[in-house]
Structure 1
């Protein structure tokens, strides 16, 4: 098999699965609305179950729901009929995922859920199946053809299930007003969490706080900049309000132009109205500000223009935001 043949197979697979996903739009009917409303109105959790590949999809859907504000539990269909049914509480909604809707484990599990009296949602690829007929609400994920060349291995069908699960989760997010701050609560770890909760105040306080007065001479300026290892010093008045900043780059440019260095004062070479940020801003917003203006430091200023410190690009790099 040559490269062209491999690429052709890959393109065909993507085309078939894309068509399966697009076909779901026709199934966003009244039952879909009922499913969203049933989960939203529930005082309990959404318990999601399945067998085989559908069980793996169920786990992914549960993970998505939990991370976006909808309490959910995964229950394997085979384990359910051997004791795990105990996790289903009276107020829970149960969703069973199956392509055929006829698996032996599903046929055993469904009557048990019906006896419990829980609302049963069937996500099924056959609307004439046992599961579809026994469910209170049906989410139709029928596909015309699997991407598998033998039309056997779950490929298009599991993709359709995943997308239907995402659709359900996003609708529930919108209904509940789930926002970025809520998302951060459930994702405190890793770089994603840091992007959502890490703030400027968490970083700049670990740095030195270099500052000089507007009448500071060249030696004092150099010592202040080099001593902090931040490549910058703030120029402040007697009330610690920021008048400007001087960077090591400002010093180099000044030295290239000036020959009379004895009379140089901080006020002569400082950059007025420097780029700054507040302590409560997100660190990721600070990064965007640094990138936009192609700079490596930001002065951190309180609402009353009081000088608080310096945030350096390296602080963000150390936190893995870049």
Structure 2
């Protein structure tokens, strides 16, 4: 049986049905959508998102997306709310309730209490004539023509439409608030994304005695000793305290081919004079972009006087989780 069934066609049918459901959502992006966003953006408290069953899973994700994009929000299970969790909701909050049918008993049981507290309700349903929709302050329609499930039973297209509408709201609010990448990073400090957006070169660069540095009058062999000692594959070359060049492993390969006397030749004769430098306040992610653009594996960090204050290479970015 399995060899005769066309799994790929079944999958394509699902994708096409759900894609059509998402496309149809554009008809609901109107004055009601604007009113929804304005209610949420002026909310003085929190956005409480709730839903039962599969709608509950979608509601949980919408709450998480709102919270990570600058709109304080969390999910409350409607059944648990009736047994004490309503204490999480207070005046000044806004409730967003999800239900495809719009007749969820668990959610409707909360309506009287929410109205008594003067908490506005946004009902996101697939039935504009449902009880939830009629009794809400705002009814946001997410009706789909059909579920992707051939039996019309398992929530598929309807949950996808709810998720997309939730994303549309979250992003609209993000843009309206002028929410930035740095703001986003503040709510994601523990992950790789946070490291990319928050970490600065000053946090990962080698400092003080860890910075490879020689004077321009020193010999190539002395510079090689410094490169080997500091282990960054390069050394800054100074005239006094000021950077005048850099010497790298790549420069070493070139001088070996030229058969230069490394014990007598000053490093100033073979160093790279126009080297790439950055300041310590630059984001590590920006530094990575500079390295990739300039095709270098290490960079000297300088202050406003062009004095070396740090150094780092690609391995340091890798260890920091920026790569």
TM-score range relative to shorter protein = over 0.9
TM-superposed deviation, 1:182? 0.7
Distance in 2 (alpha carbons) for counterparts of 1:37 and 1:3 = 53
- TM-score scaled by length of structure 2: 0.95
For structure 1, the residue ranges without an aligned partner over 5 or more in a row are none
Q: Deviation per CA, 1:76-103: give whole Å up to 9, x if none.
A: 1111222211211111111110000012
TM-superposed deviation, 1:320? 2.1
SS at match of 2:154: coil
Distance in 2 (alpha carbons) for counterparts of 1:306 and 1:40 = 48
CA contact (8 A) 1:32 1:138 kept: no
Q: Deviation per CA, 1:243-284: give whole Å up to 9, x if none.
A: 010012211211211344454111110101211221111111
Q: What are the equivalent positions in structure 2 for 1:114-263 lying under 5 Å apart?
A: 114-205=115-206, 208-238=210-240, 240-263=241-264
Does the C-alpha gap of structure 1 residues 265 and 34 become closer, same or farther in structure 2, counting only changes over 3 Å?
same
- TM-score scaled by length of structure 1: 0.96
SS at match of 1:223: helix
Distance in 1 (alpha carbons) for counterparts of 2:18 and 2:74 = 27
Distance in 2 (alpha carbons) for counterparts of 1:4 and 1:304 = 72
CA contact (8 A) 1:297 1:312 kept: yes
For structure 2, the residue ranges without an aligned partner over 5 or more in a row are none
TM-superposed deviation, 1:106? 2.5
SS at match of 1:216: coil
Match of 1:109 in 2: 110
Distance in 2 (alpha carbons) for counterparts of 1:21 and 1:84 = 33
Distance in 2 (alpha carbons) for counterparts of 1:228 and 1:260 = 23
Q: Which moved more, 1:104-113 or 1:133-142?
A: 104-113
Match of 2:35 in 1: 34
Q: Which moved more, 1:1-10 or 1:192-201?
A: 1-10
Distance in 2 (alpha carbons) for counterparts of 1:263 and 1:106 = 84
Distance in 2 (alpha carbons) for counterparts of 1:188 and 1:292 = 27
1:98 aligns with 2:104: no
Match of 2:73 in 1: 72
SS at match of 1:271: coil
CA contact (8 A) 2:43 2:93 kept: yes
Q: Deviation per CA, 1:212-233: give whole Å up to 9, x if none.
A: 1111112211111111111101
Q: What are the equivalent positions in structure 2 for 1:8-87 lying under 5 Å apart?
A: 8-87=9-88
1:265 aligns with 2:287: no
CA contact (8 A) 2:32 2:140 kept: yes
Match of 2:315 in 1: 314
Distance in 1 (alpha carbons) for counterparts of 2:242 and 2:287 = 21
Distance in 1 (alpha carbons) for counterparts of 2:41 and 2:191 = 29
Aligned length: 321
Q: What are the equivalent positions in structure 2 for 1:278-297 lying under 5 Å apart?
A: 278-297=279-298
Distance in 1 (alpha carbons) for counterparts of 2:74 and 2:210 = 48
SS at match of 2:176: helix
CA contact (8 A) 2:196 2:321 kept: no
Distance in 2 (alpha carbons) for counterparts of 1:104 and 1:233 = 71
TM-superposed deviation, 1:4? 7.6
CA contact (8 A) 1:195 1:283 kept: yes
